[in-house]
Amino acid sequence: MLRLDGAGRAFGRRPVFSGLDLEVPPGTRLLLTGGNGTGKTTLLRCLAGTLALSSGRATIAGRPAGTPAARRLVGIALAPEQTLCGRLSGHDNLMLLARMRLPAREAAAAVARVEEEFAIAEYAQVPAQRCSAGMRARISVARALLGDPPVLLLDEPGRSLDAGARAMFWAALDRRPGLTCVLASHLDSDRVRCDRTLAMPVRR
């Protein structure tokens, strides 16, 4: 479902990773681990297509990462507390993406479903800029699931979530067994929820 062939990314002359080969079969949950600055976010951004690789190739179901065909297959929550439109309510943030991803007649039902899954309803009408970091993270992760994309890319989804919200997150993933998921996390509790681990190498 997701593939890297000799993938590398550098900033200036400084490589973050290089020569990375990876194959993630459909339905796999891959955990990215590694200390601060080892390149987890950079790799996720290259898979999402918001950052280009410096070398090699990344594909989503055979489509080059970043192309419209690949982006349509991917749900993204890369900075879960920061990527909402602050002036819009959580509900309107969700509706905005639902309308882009789904036929108009399906958008409201899809939003209602994720609002229920993440218990968002009670603050769904509050502007996102007045929500707490954890509330915004819930909305962002819920948003990534809209339209049931086959691939999910998540950067530390549990960082701001309380224990209950983390349980909701994993339950939502368990309800979607075919989903291919790559997530970066520093939490030991996430390791047992994933099938495979990729430890980003430390560079000096």
Shortest Å, Cβ 11 to ligand ATP: 4
Q: Residue 41 or residue 89: which is nearer to ligand ATP going by CB?
A: 41
Q: Residue 111 or residue 184: which is nearer to ligand ATP going by CB?
A: 184
Q: Per the structure block, which two tokens stand in for 3? A: 């593939």
Shortest Å, Cβ 165 to ligand ATP: 20
Could you give the CA distance from residue 194 to residue 119 in angstroms, rounded to a whole number?
24
Per the CB < 8 A criterion, the answer to whether 140 and 110 are in contact is: no
Shortest Å, Cβ 186 to ligand ATP: 7
Q: Residue 91 or residue 136: which is nearer to ligand ATP going by CB?
A: 136
Shortest Å, Cβ 198 to ligand ATP: 11
Q: How many beta carbons lie within 10 A of that of residue 22, not counting itself? A: 16
Hey, which bits of the chain come out as E strands? Answer: 2-11, 14-24, 29-33, 55-60, 63-64, 74-77, 151-155, 180-184, 196-199
Shortest Å, Cβ 126 to ligand ATP: 28
Q: How many CA atoms lie within 13 A of 155 on its CB side?
A: 19
Helix/strand/coil for 196 = strand
Which residues bind to ligand ATP, rule: CB under 6 A? 11, 16, 34, 36-42, 200
Q: Residue 39 or residue 150: which is nearer to ligand ATP going by CB?
A: 39
CA-wise closest residue to 152 among 81, 75, 82, 80: 75
Q: Residue 50 or residue 59: which is nearer to ligand ATP going by CB?
A: 50
Shortest Å, Cβ 196 to ligand ATP: 17
Q: Residue 38 or residue 93: which is nearer to ligand ATP going by CB?
A: 38
Q: Tell me the β-bridge partners of 74.
A: 151
